[in-house]
Structure 1
Amino acid sequence: MQTRAHSNVKQLQTMFSRIRSAAEDETYQATVKKLRQKYYPIELDPHIPVKDKIKHMEDWWNLSEKAISGLMVTQQDIDDVCLECKPSLRNGCKEFFRDLNDSNVPALVFSAGCGDIVAAVLKHAGVYLPNVKVISNFLKFNEDGTIMGFKDKIIHVFNKNEYAVKNTDFYGEVADRENAIVLGDSLGDAAMTQGMEHCQNALKIGFLYEQIEDSLPQYLDTFDIVLVDDQTMDVPRAIFDYIRDAAR
């Protein structure tokens, strides 16, 4: 949830598709377009219960994994796409991440996208700092650089919780921390601290951009704070500053 929603939304959604081997594969392009047209409206539909959406999201991600398997991708290909698309971070994001690092506050970037691209975006922006961890769908390659799928179980928008965090280094690093601020733009993001027994207090901030009128009631029921069409880190920044200053 560190990227802006408008200026680069199309690039962010299609960055993997613009990697050279993917861009040149017409079958891949047709497949992912068809999958998105089918499943993305289901993800956003406020009238479909989350429990009913989960199976659809699992199908979408499993079929997407099959679609990318067999493509050849290098780290240079990923870096080139990041430079070409130039995804912009939210206003104030860089300073926020750096101050979190200076204050020794762990920051988890939990993404249902391609972890290799997420990590590259953070590196190019200069915010992949020692306190930042990425949990996402990282690619698995064979010896010649061909994608074999994802390394671990697939993370989709509705299972970003203890399912993916529990047996990671990050879980151990935050085991003595009772408080968390959760930022997300999907209803599933509100569950990111679910199953983390040590977390006693979670302030959940939701960013809402699409189908605002229909989705707002659910967001208000799910998040503690809902920010409509907000492209900044101003609110979480203000909360962090208040906590940091009070602790001095």
Structure 2
Amino acid sequence: MFFAACMACRHDLPQSCGAPGSLAGDPKAMAAATAAEGRTASFSSTSSAEDDRSERRDRLRSLVHKFTSDALLGVNCTVVDQEQQGAKTEAVYKLDHSVSWLRCCSRSTGAVVAGVLLHSINRLDAFAQLPGDEKEELLELLGPSDCARCVSLGSEQKSRKDLEPKRPTLPVRVLLLLEDSQEVERFITCVEILRLYAAMAAGVDDAAAACAAAAASGELIVVLDFDRTITASFTPDGQRVTSAHGVLEVAKVLSESFRSKTKELFGKYYPIEIDASMSIPEKIPIMSEWYAQVHALMLKEFVTRENIASAVSSCPTICLREGMLELLRCHKAEPAIPVLIMSAGLGDVIEEFLRQTLPFSLASTTLVVSNRMVFDEGEGGRLVDFSEPLLHMFNKSFAFWPEDARALAVGKKRCLLPVGLTTWLEQCGDGLGDCTMVDGLDVETLKVGFLNEKIEERLQQFREGFDVVVTGDGPVPEVCMRAIGASAAGISQQN
């Protein structure tokens, strides 16, 4: 399991993490100890017992987690823009939620001003380690005092045009000024340790590579939820993102009477939904009853397709998760990668949101499996019924896939499965079972969990249930892009 939590370097290892008094504040000792654990965890050839290897991996994970646990807010630094005559931005550096990017955010605006992919860092140098010509260039640009506290990061990543509005193109090389030369040494040690930690994810890397190979041969399918998976959990200004069901209520397409009655139903049925003492088979008929009553109330409202389009366009509190646009582009790969969006919400709202939000049309290999609204064109196009069978939080599984979705899964051997906190809680409650959306589908699955909130409460469950965990409403992790990468090369620039 690759733990992808939001971590930033605090540098000093707690005393409890190693030999008493031997590691705290000593970067070289910390690096040596962690490297030793890493070699044992990832490359041991002396022990063939899986439980021994697992125990060693857990020790390394624990060591790095404790090493970084006190620095969720990041560390102050200054970003130097060499292309702008040494312009400086006061910033904070930290890892992103997926432990894919090392990002520097402006302290005044919060905007990302620089960043490199952790796994692609190919240069990590203090001033003293730089070639002579680069030293001369920096001395002229910064002066001796700043050069003594600078660190240069280089990456193999390629600069690219931004695919989503308001997201900056990041430089391939980053120059940072830290507090002093000792801070530089600690920073370099921390990054090296975290790169070693990333190597512990070899199993995830192998799974991603296997998915990419399957994609290249037409044997990969992507299955994902909508609410808080395709969409974020919170808007940029901190408001909770509206669900597919909630869009119509926010736009006041539905009456005050409807909202009042559904609120009463929520108070009645939601405690049952989250009741850990009840089994899922016990809950299924009750959840079906809840959804049926809500749909019956909605049929009394005058809802049209035009209402839905207007509600989506006017809803300020629904937005894509960062990086999701690039992931959804995978349907343009050759061969095409089927994408199945499975939701207990309203399929018509979901499709309208995607139509209005994405800068490209979805292919026939991208399907939304959800509750469908039936409109009677002879009655002014109003809503008159809902599709059957009713899809709710406890029956989102392969057994309920329609025939066209099943056809897309024929011959598929691998599945990329991103899942949000909502779906996990709905289907698993306090248990440790896997998400059921691909239950019954004979595939090897790479599971990515978005733990948007209740992080401390749910983290251990997510660690055990998912291959990759993204916390804090973070972006789509880079491993997802690698999973579709073999056949997705070049598709990011297509429309």
TM-score by length of 2: 0.44
Gaps of 5+ in 2: 1-228, 428-433, 490-495
What are the Cα deviations for residues 194-229 of structure 1, in whole angstroms up to 9, with x where unaligned? 122xx3201222222343333334434433333222
Tell me the equivalent position of 2:148. Answer: none
Contact residue 19 and residue 78 of structure 1 kept, 8 A: no
Q: 1:147 to 1:74 in 2, by over 3 A?
A: closer
Structure 1 contact 207–226 (Cα < 8 Å) conserved: yes
Q: Distance in 1 between matches of 2:409 and 2:279?
A: 31
State the Cα deviation string for residues 150-207 of structure 1 (Å, max 9, x = none). 1221111121112321x421211220111101111212381111122xx320122222
Return the alpha-carbon distance in structure 1 between the equivalents of residues 462 and 338 of structure 2: 26
Correspondence for 1:138? 372
Deviation string 1:49-75 (CA, Å, 9 cap, x unpaired) is 444443442232122111111222222
Displacement of 1:48: 5.3
Structure-1 separation of matches of 2:269 and 2:486 = 40
Whole-Å Cα distance in 1 between the matches of residues 277 and 456 of structure 2?
A: 12
Aligned length: 241
Q: 2:392 aligns with which of 128, 132, 156?
A: 156
Paired residue for 1:175? Answer: 410
Q: Secondary structure at the match of 1:9?
A: coil
Within the candidate set 438, 451, 456, 1:193 is matched to 438
Distance verdict in 2 for CA 1:98–1:203, change over 3 Å: same
In structure 2, C-alpha distance between the alignment counterparts of 1:245 and 1:58, rounded to whole Å: 39
Q: Judging changes above 3 Å, is the alpha-carbon distance between structure 1 residues 121 and 179 closer, same or farther for their aligned structure 2 residues?
A: same
Of 27-36 and 46-55, deviating more is 46-55
Distance 1:195 1:135 in 2: 16
Moved more, 44-53 or 128-137: 44-53
Q: Which moved more, 1:126-135 or 1:75-84?
A: 126-135
Secondary structure, counterpart of 2:435 in structure 1: helix
Q: Measure the CA separation in 2 of the matches of 1:241 and 1:21.
A: 39
| C-alpha distance 224-207 of structure 1, shift in aligned 2 (>3 A) | same
Report SS of the residue matched to 2:390. Answer: coil
CA–CA separation in structure 1 for the residues paired with 2:307 and 2:268: 28
In structure 2, the residue matched to 1:71 is 301
| 1:113–1:128 distance in 2 versus 1, CA, 3 Å | farther
Structure 2 equivalent of residue 120 of structure 1: 352
* Alpha-carbon spacing, 1:163–1:148, altered in 2? closer, same or farther (3 Å): farther
**Alpha-carbon distance between aligned partners in 1 of 2:339 and 2:288, rounded to the nearest angstrom:** 26
The answer as to whether partners of 2:299 and 2:384 remain within 8 angstroms in 1 is yes
Cα 1:74–1:20 change in 2 (3 A) is: farther
| SS of aligned partner of 2:370 | strand
Would you say the 8 A contact 1:69–1:148 is kept in 2? yes
Q: What is the percentage of aligned positions where both structures have the same residue?
A: 26
Match of 1:93 in 2: 324
Of Structure 1 and Structure 2, which has the larger fraction of its residues in helix? 1
What TM-score do the two structures reach when normalised by structure 1?
A: 0.84
Please state whether the residue corresponding to 2:242 is helix, strand or coil. helix
Looking at CA atoms only, which structure, 1 or 2, has the larger radius of gyration? 2
